[in-house]
Amino acid sequence: MTTIADSIVQTEALTKSISGKAVVNEVNIKIERGDIYGFLGPNGAGKTTTIRLLLGLTKPTSGTVRLFDRDIRNHRLDVLRKVGSLVEYPSYYGHLTAVENLEAVRRLLDVPKERIDDVLAIVRLTKDAGRQVKGYSLGMKQRLGIATALLGNPELLILDEPTNGLDPAGIQEIRELIISLPRTKGVTILISSHLLSEVEQMATRVGIIAKGSMVYQNSISHLREQAISRIRFTVNDPASAYPLLRSSGYEAEWDDRSLTIGRADNASTAEAVALLVKHHYDVYRVEEQTASLESLFLEMTGGERSL
Residue 304 has pLDDT above 60, yes or no: no
Instruction: Give tens-digit pLDDT for 282-303.
Output: 999 998 876 667 777 777 777 6
Give the DSSP letter of residue 51.
H
φ/ψ (deg, to 5) at 66: -120, 125
How high is the pLDDT of residue 35? 95
Instruction: Give tens-digit pLDDT for 61-112.
Output: 999 999 999 999 999 989 999 999 998 777 889 999 999 999 999 999 999 9
How high is the pLDDT of residue 4? 46
The model's confidence at residue 262, banded by pLDDT at 50, 70 and 90, is confident
How high is the pLDDT of residue 291? 63
pTM above 0.85, yes or no: no
Quote the mean pLDDT of the chain: 89
CA dist list (Å): 64 to 24, 53, 83: 12, 9, 17
The model's confidence at residue 272, banded by pLDDT at 50, 70 and 90, is very high
Q: Is the dihedral of CA 178, 183, 187, 188 positive or negative?
A: positive
Residue 5 has pLDDT above 90, yes or no: no
Residue 256 has pLDDT above 90, yes or no: no
φ/ψ (deg, to 5) at 48: -65, -40
Residue 171 has pLDDT above 50, yes or no: yes
Lowest-pLDDT range of 27-41, 59-73, 93-107, 185-199 = 185-199
Give mean pLDDT, residues 131-135: 95
Kindly report the three-state secondary structure assignment for every residue of 212-260: CEEEEEEEHHHHHHCCCEEEEEEECCHHHHHHHHHHCCCCEEECCCEEE
Instruction: Give tens-digit pLDDT for 220-252.
Output: 888 877 766 678 899 999 999 999 999 998 888
**Nearby residues of 287 by Cβ (< 8 Å), 6 or more positions away:** 231, 232, 234
Residue 305 has pLDDT above 70, yes or no: no
Domains of the chain, earliest start first: 4-224 (3.40.50.300), 228-290 (3.30.70.270)
